[in-house]
């Protein structure tokens, strides 16, 4: 018998996208052009194709003009850098997103470092990551921003809570820990080498799981009444699984995100949010 309330990422996404549509329209009225997002997909990774399609659909829904660039898997690094250069100086483009992973042979870190930080709507550039660390205004990574919105949507006051993050990636674990800290949580970051993980997670008022292992978090790892945010997207036998065992964790948690339908929709919504924000900052 589940006791946790389900945090509906789709519904929250729809609400925020509605607000962003109004903001995008206001931008268009003030500046005589639409907010613009360039999306670059190199190669034919099936999951990336789905993500890029969903990003373009989200742009249409929000009234953002998308500029899609589909490059072959054998595109040279120079060609990709030339395109980024052009987009950096294109006044119609407010945000630039290079879909990851890039095909083999391309230096991901170097390529991302060449995106103008003001147009880095993924928040992956060292300048944005550094400003997040310093607590300065910045474009913060999308999934972590979505996680914070999901927690806040439950009415939970993050301040003073013990937040435990499982995972330390640059894309999710580290930035989500920094955002929780910015919201005055006491933050513990756990990872694959953490000793006595269960003892730590059992003290979490807020548990964010981004470790990339199917149903890694079991019910006995969750404190009664915790808010559980599951960032996992593990495909197995054609089905999508989170990093937490939903049934077991839902018996302990007060709120929990489902997979799919929790964090996933929020990532793209926060990308739209960053694009509108970048447009207004740079206009
Ligand atoms: N691949 C998987 N997630 C992401 C993301 O958030 N941004 C980009 N650019 N690529 C990804």
Last residue of a domain, one of 83, 116, 149: 116
Q: What is the pLDDT of residues 77-112, one digit of tens each?
A: 999 999 999 999 999 999 999 999 999 999 999 999
130 belongs to a structural domain: no
Please check whether residues 91 and 152 belong to one and the same domain: no
Can you give the CATH number for the domain in which 71 is found? 3.40.50.10860
- Cα separation of 242 and 228, whole Å? 11
232 belongs to a structural domain: yes
Q: Which helix (H) or strand (E) holds 275?
A: helix 263-282
Q: Read off the pLDDT band of 180 (50, 70, 90).
A: very high
91 belongs to a structural domain: yes
Q: Which domain holds residue 37?
A: 32-116
Residue in 41, 53, 99 to alter for ligand 1 test, most ligand atoms within 8 A of Cβ = 99
Number of domains within the chain = 2
CA dihedral 96, 13, 27, 132 (to 10 degrees): -50
Please check whether residues 170 and 253 belong to one and the same domain: yes
pLDDT at res. 2 = 61
Q: Is the pTM of this model over 0.95?
A: yes
Q: Does the pLDDT value for residue 179 go beyond 90? A: yes
CB distance 86 to 56 below 8 Å: no
163 belongs to a structural domain: yes
Which residues form the catalytic set?
Answer: 55, 99, 122
Residue 35 CA, ligand 1 centroid: distance in Å: 20
184 belongs to a structural domain: yes
């Amino acid at each position: 018998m589940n006791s946790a309330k389900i945090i509906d990422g789709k519904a929250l996404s729809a609400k925020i996208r509605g607000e962003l549509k109004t903001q995008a329209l206001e931008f268009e009225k003030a500046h005589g052009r639409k907010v613009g997002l360039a999306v670059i997909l190199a190669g034919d990774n099936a999951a990336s194709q789905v993500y890029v399609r969903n990003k373009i659909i989200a742009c249409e829904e929000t009234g953002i003009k998308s500029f899609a660039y589909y490059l072959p898997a054998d595109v040279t690094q120079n060609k990709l850098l030339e395109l980024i250069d052009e987009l950096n100086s294109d006044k119609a483009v407010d945000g630039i997103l290079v879909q990851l992973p890039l095909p083999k042979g391309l230096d991901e870190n170097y390529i991302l470092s060449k995106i103008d930080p003001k147009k880095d709507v993924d928040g992956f550039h060292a300048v944005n990551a550094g400003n997040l660390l310093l607590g300065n205004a910045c474009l913060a990574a999308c999934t972590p921003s979505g996680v914070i919105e999901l927690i806040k949507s439950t009415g939970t006051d993050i301040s003073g809570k013990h937040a435990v993050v499982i995972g330390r990636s640059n894309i999710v674990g580290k930035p989500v820990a920094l955002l929780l800290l910015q919201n005055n949580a006491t933050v513990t970051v756990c990872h694959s080498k953490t000793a006595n993980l269960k003892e730590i997670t059992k003290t979490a008022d807020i548990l964010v799981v981004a470790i990339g292992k199917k149903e890694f978090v079991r019910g006995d790892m969750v404190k009664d009444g915790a808010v559980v945010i599951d960032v996992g997207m593990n495909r197995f036998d054609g089905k999508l699984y989170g990093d937490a065992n939903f049934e077991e964790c839902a018996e302990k948690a007060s709120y929990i995100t489902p997979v799919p339908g929790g964090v996933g929709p929020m990532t793209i919504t926060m990308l739209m949010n960053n694009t509108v924000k970048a447009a207004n900052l740079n206009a």
